[in-house]
Structure 1
Amino acid sequence: MDRPATAMWRPPRACDNYWEEFKHCKSWSNNFHHYYTYGTNPSCKQWKTDYNNCRQWEERRDTEAKEALLKSERDRVAEQRNFTPVWELRKEPPRDWHLPLNQEKPQDS
């Protein structure tokens, strides 16, 4: 079974997922939340571009569209790595993890 590598490649997400992300990005509730949080309206252009590139790949196997889609996904993942986690992740569980929790509240005198 010798198929070209391009025939085996699939987009990281289904094309409909890009369209749903675009619709969500343009929604009133998302715009309100984004404006309240960041003071600007969100840019939804990349989601639409990714959807179009995905469709071009599925319909015509356009390698430029494939490369653009891969670059966009890599950029998206790299951007997510820029955010520091709120909590420090544990390497191992606490020593007393197996003990029952102290459910008693201290009495105020």
Structure 2
Amino acid sequence: METEVAVDQMESYPRFSWLVKPCERYKEEYSECTSIKAKFHQYFINGETEDCSQWKKDYNSCLDFRNKRDLEALDNVITSERLRRKKRLEGHYQNDVWEPRESPPEDWNKPIPKEYAADQDISYLAQKCRELKEGKVESHSMCSIS
């Protein structure tokens, strides 16, 4: 994961400085958030458009840290990232449907039952593994995004 603070310098900066992304990511997020496409999506999903100003503030604070080594600016970005992370994980922490495990089940690595083993041999993944081993896989990209 890329961070604005170099890994070998983490100890000399605040505790959560690893959360701070490279400054360009904040600029990209701001540009994306303020685009017409994003505004339409925000309005369609939430019924209103989002306030994107925090991305701009984070970008400016990140640049202040990068150029001036301003620790207050770094703290501002860290605080913002922690709030963003807390909001993103809110549903996970409020989930009362599942009970968290203390440890994995004792038999978590037992062999696959015989009735499923036959299906495993004819799966798409198994077929592609065989083709790869036999050298039948073509070297062109399988990416469908263009």
Please say whether Structure 1 and Structure 2 have the same fold, judged by a TM-score greater than 0.5: yes
Identify the structure with the greater helix proportion.
Answer: 2
Alpha carbons 1:11, 1:54 under 8 Å: kept: no
Quote the residue 2:64 is aligned against. Answer: 56
Stretches of structure 1 lacking an aligned partner (at least 5 in a row): 102-109
Quote the residue 2:119 is aligned against. Answer: 100
Quote the residue 1:82 is aligned against. Answer: 90
How big is the alpha-carbon RMSD for the aligned residues of Structure 1 and Structure 2? Answer: 3.1
The runs of at least 4 consecutive aligned structure 1 residues that moved more than 4 Å come to none
Counting aligned pairs with the same residue, the percent is 28
Quote the residue 2:51 is aligned against. Answer: 43
Quote the residue 1:14 is aligned against. Answer: 22
Aligned mates of 1:13, 1:37 — CA distance in 2: 27
Residue by residue, what CA displacement relative to the aligned partner does 1:18-77 show, whole Å, maximum 9, x if unpaired? 000000000011100110110111110110000000000001111110111111111111
Quote the residue 1:106 is aligned against. Answer: none
Using the size of structure 2 for normalisation, the TM-score is 0.55
Instruction: Mark the CA change 1:36 to 1:59 in structure 2 (over 3 Å): closer, same or farther.
Output: same
Stretches of structure 2 lacking an aligned partner (at least 5 in a row): 1-8, 99-103, 121-146
Instruction: Mark the CA change 1:41 to 1:99 in structure 2 (over 3 Å): closer, same or farther.
Output: same
Aligned mates of 2:86, 2:22 — CA distance in 1: 20
Aligned mates of 2:19, 2:66 — CA distance in 1: 9
Q: Which has the higher contact order (CA 8 A, sep 6+)?
A: 1
